[in-house]
């Protein structure tokens, strides 16, 4: 049996190996016109673009597909829309897209998201001591099992958290980190690795407030884990 110091050293070595593997992993994306998953309710599916962004690993194995909403409603003035929308102008729990997981992936808290079809809704991280310093931003996409998301209407934040917790199989919702959207959206989806070795998808998405419209670069972390996880 290993002594306590040796056990501690072994654990640290395993963590170092896992961290190195995460940093060296390679991913790519491609955009494909695909049929929307049949598991999605009609009220949800009709709002989504049928161009999916597909995430592949270094062996070209398909990990997941993401469909974004064709038009995201925002609460903003025409001037705000023109100058640049933040995620806080999008009402909390707004439907942003859908996710089909082909190969089990992990969320930002290192919780497993199993193969299946999910909707993606906007959530704000609670402003309390339990969440301080756990993420660089306070906005997330919460996956919800497609069968549990009956329509595209807004829901109570607490209900969203509880429903998403079923995805992670615990008391905490599944979470995918969002970054502040880019006012100058790319023409096509882009996948980039940041300084923390997290892989972030930037995808052009149209936002609308009344008659005012603009295209932003919505930034969603597809591969990444909090340092506090």
What pLDDT, in 10s, does the model give residues 87-115? 999 999 999 999 999 999 999 999 999 99
The first and second tokens of residue 31, run together, are 């955009």
pTM of the complete model beyond 0.75: yes
In a domain? residue 159: yes
User: In Å, what is the CA distance from 217 to each residue of 125, 184, 220?
Assistant: 21, 7, 10
Q: Can you give the residue range of the structural domain that contains 73?
A: 26-223
User: In Å, what is the CA distance from 35 to each residue of 51, 64, 71, 93, 180?
Assistant: 9, 14, 19, 25, 29
In a domain? residue 173: yes
The first and second tokens of residue 158, run together, are 């607490």
In a domain? residue 82: yes
In a domain? residue 94: yes
Write out the chain's pLDDT in tens, 229 residues.
Answer: 445 454 444 433 433 434 444 456 899 999 999 999 999 999 999 999 999 999 999 999 999 999 999 999 999 999 999 888 999 999 999 999 999 999 999 999 999 999 999 999 999 987 655 555 567 799 999 999 999 999 999 999 999 999 999 999 999 999 999 999 998 899 999 999 999 899 999 999 999 999 999 999 999 999 999 987 6
What is the tally of structural domains in the chain? 1
- As a whole number of angstroms, the distance between CA 9 and CA 3 comes to 10
**Residue showing tokens 């998405």:** 205
Coil, helix or strand at residue 96: strand
């Amino acid at each position: 049996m290993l002594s306590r110091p040796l056990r501690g050293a072994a654990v640290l070595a395993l963590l170092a190996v896992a961290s190195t593997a995460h940093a060296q992993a390679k991913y790519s994306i491609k955009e494909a016109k695909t049929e929307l998953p049949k598991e999605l309710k009609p009220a949800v599916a009709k709002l989504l673009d049928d161009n999916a962004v597909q995430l592949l690993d270094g062996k070209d194995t398909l990990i997941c597909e993401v469909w974004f909403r064709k038009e995201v409603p925002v609460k903003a003035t025409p001037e705000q829309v023109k100058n640049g929308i933040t995620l806080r102008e999008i009402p909390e729990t707004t439907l942003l897209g859908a996710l089909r997981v082909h190969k089990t992936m992990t969320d930002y808290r290192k919780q497993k998201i199993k193969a299946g079809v999910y909707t993606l809704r906007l959530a704000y991280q609670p402003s309390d001591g339990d969440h301080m310093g756990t993420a660089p931003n306070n906005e997330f996409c919460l996956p919800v099992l497609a069968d549990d998301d009956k329509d595209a209407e807004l829901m109570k934040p607490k209900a969203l958290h509880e429903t998403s917790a079923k995805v992670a199989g615990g008391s905490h919702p599944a979470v995918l980190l969002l970054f502040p959207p880019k006012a100058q959206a790319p023409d096509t989806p882009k996948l980039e690795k940041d300084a923390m070795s997290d892989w972030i998808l930037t995808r052009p998405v149209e936002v609308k407030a009344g008659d005012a419209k603009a295209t932003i670069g919505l930034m969603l972390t597809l591969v990444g884990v909090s340092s506090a996880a």
